[in-house]
A and B are shown apart, each in its own frame.
Chain A
């Protein structure tokens, strides 16, 4: 009945690649942010998969940690993006280059 593990892992790889490409090619900070979330959840999916394969729960526990950290990151990240928008009237990450050497 169960879906075989390689499919889950393939889905995870596809999602992760989508997220990576999103981070690399999109210029809107919000989309970049969403792509990062996509990558995180791709990793979560593979963690759960491996946990089931091994029959343990530690991988699933790690997923909770990742979720919590991701939630915190969203809070901070969104706050930063809002602030950038307020001060610079844009969320284009290529325009935010204060640290250029």
Chain B
């Protein structure tokens, strides 16, 4: 299965080609190269999936060594790819959704001057993400991990002439870097424990090397989870993600919804055998996920910006995924990752169509009544919204339900209640977004631009087919994707496929025996979702429900003051420290260096007078020197 190497290699070649020569062969060529490589990678991914399925379940773990990368004493790190059901699923999600978003971008970025640069970055991102998911050890994963971080920075700050975008890019880079420190320390710790960071070895020998609940296992898992928190925007390192919406919308769909931000979840599933040795760390993961889920859902309630609502929604859904993996429901976590990739990418692409129609506006207070002029966009956004709210038969219903029932069955009813409450809030905020964008005609909004072409952009119009078709494909996937994991036939197709990869050393995945309470759980979660939708409708559409409190609104719109807390506690002292270091560096270190320099300079200035340029003066000095020497010798 050596050809799996082409999966990350193809987009990488696309990056090189478009990066080097993209300016030369025109927009059409750039688009063909960029989309073609990703589609080809998807095809290779399908081939890998087919040959993997033909293997017996126990043998679905193929390691591809490309070459020995580092060798230092007893430690060798090969550049190794690991092809197993988990990485195959991730490859298909990344290349499949990625290809759709690449194609969508051709339409979305059609008028941008930096067309080639955009697609070069996008290809580099895809290559990095595929390296991440195909990595055979933590070190190779770290390459991809940092690569996607870099591309995230480059693409958030893509319109770098806008100060907000540049600042958001830097913020994303720095905040995720905080987590990456933990991730790197985790890798070192893994080398300390196993002498290798190979996933196969770590999974196989987890029990032998790590006593259950021991300090090493807990520390390792928590350090890696810190990295996951940064990358996947969990509390407390979430705040870069809403700002990341400064990037182009397809980037938000691909990187900040469908793929990169799920890397943390994927990493934990990849390391599940290790996490099973550290129950405390798993509880931390589950609680962080649950708290993030409800926290971000609440923050989304008052956010006026359409894309930022979706960003908080992403944070919240990632919280669900961490809740799932925290209670050991690996399959449910990956299933929700997949389904989220579908419906959140769909929501973002639909939001991108709205922005396209309105000339770049994302403020929902300036939208309204767009359902009339953008029926397709409204329909696809609606499909994504229903999936997000968890209404059957959309894919979100199945995956979210699996997570909730896993949480319920695990041991912690509290987690289940928090998750359920977050699901209710989710329904409310997405209904709010839908109503404000597509239904309510706010006074003085831009839906009536007077006479057609006066404003330059004209009346809101549907996006061109190159943007519409990928959106539509995602909408169909959102509608039928539930078949991957129909919860009534536990375990679902996806979970069964993933079984060999994610259950070694662990108990059977939660939900392998359909409990009698399953029907009740499903009914409750659907009822909550419906109640949320109804509440949202009554509040934002008909205005029947009133009486919101300003205090609550203030609390929510500042996201419970988490960011202010960080600013006060971390940023301000950090700035003070930086100021002190700056002072020391400028006046202390630089001062000493400059003083020496000034001294030498002054000495030189004094000495230069000797070089008068007058020949006769030189001769005189020479004569004086000779006389002095003679006098010395004679007198001796």
A38 part of interface (Cβ distance < 8 Å): no
Cα A93 to Cα B620 in complex, Å, equals: 14
A5 CA / B320 CA spacing, docked (Å): 116
Of B610, B611, B616, which contacts A93 at CB under 8 A? B616
- Which of A6-14, A20-28, A47-55, A57-65 lines the interface with chain B? A20-28
B619 at the interface (CB under 8 A from A): yes
Q: Point out the residue from B608, B610, B614, B616 that lies within 8 Å of A23, measured CB to CB.
A: B616
Chain A residues within an 8 Å CB radius of B612: 97, 100-101
Shortest distance from the beta carbon of B96 to any chain A beta carbon, whole Å = 73
Scoring B residues 606 to 626 as 1 if CB is less than 8 Å from chain A, else 0, what string do you get?
A: 011111111110011001000
A81 to chain B, nearest CB (A): 12
Q: Nearest residue in B to A100 (C-beta to C-beta)? A: B613
Number of interface residues of A (CB under 8 A): 14
Q: Is A98 an interface residue (CB 8 A)?
A: yes
- Of all chain A residues, the one with the shortest Cβ separation from B607 is A101
In the complex, the answer to whether A94 meets B616 with C-beta atoms within 8 Å is yes
Q: Is A99 an interface residue (CB 8 A)?
A: yes
Which of B608, B619, B623 contacts A101, CB < 8 Å?
B608
- CB-CB under 8 A from A27, the residues of chain B are 616
Q: Mark A61-101, 1 if CB is under 8 A from B, else 0.
A: 00000000000000000000000000000000110111111
Report the bound CA distance from A64 to B609 in whole Å. 40
CB of A97 within 8 A of CB of B623, answer no
Report yes or no: A99 in contact with B613, Cβ–Cβ below 8 A: yes
Contact call B623/A94, Cβ cutoff below 8 A: no
Q: Is the interface of B mostly helix, strand, loop or mixed?
A: helix
**Which among A20, A96, A101 is the interface contact of B615 at CB below 8 angstroms?**
A96
A94 to B620 alpha-carbon distance, docked (Å): 14
Query: Which of B607, B609, B615, B623 gathers the greatest number of chain A CB atoms within 10 Å?
Result: B615
Closest A residue, CB atoms, query B622: A23
Q: A45 within 8 Å of B by Cβ?
A: no
Set of chain B residues within 8 Å of A93, measured between Cβ atoms: 614-616
B contact residues around A101 at 8 Å (CB)? 607-613
Residue ID in chain A nearest B610 by CB atoms? A101
> Is the pair B619, A94 in contact by a Cβ cutoff of 8 Å?
no
Interface assignment of A42: CB less than 8 Å from any CB of chain B? no
Residues of A within 8 Å of B610, CB to CB, are: 101
B251, chain A: closest CB distance, angstroms: 60
Let me know if A97 and B613 touch, CB within 8 A.
yes
B623 touches A20 (CB 8 A): yes
A15 at interface, CB cutoff 8 A: no
Pair B614/A24 contact, Cβ less than 8 Å: no
With both chains docked as a complex, state the minimum distance between the C-beta of A51 and any C-beta of chain B, in angstroms. Answer: 22
Chain B's closest residue to A97 (CB) is B613
Instruction: List B569-627 residues whose CB lies under 8 Å from chain A.
Output: 607-616, 619-620, 623
Name A's B-contacting residues (CB within 8 A): 20, 23-25, 27, 32, 93-94, 96-101
Show 8 residue pairs from A and B whose CB-CB distance is below 8 angstroms, ordered by the A residue.
Answer: A23-B619, A24-B616, A24-B620, A27-B616, A32-B615, A93-B616, A94-B615, A96-B615
**Which B positions have Cβ atoms within 8 angstroms of A?**
607-616, 619-620, 623
The 10 A-B pairs with the shortest beta carbon distances in the complex, nearest first, are: A97-B613, A100-B613, A101-B611, A101-B608, A93-B615, A23-B619, A99-B613, A24-B616, A24-B620, A94-B614
8 new A-B contacts, CB < 8 A, other than A24-B620, A97-B612, A100-B613, are A27-B616, A32-B616, A96-B613, A97-B613, A99-B611, A101-B607, A101-B612, A101-B613
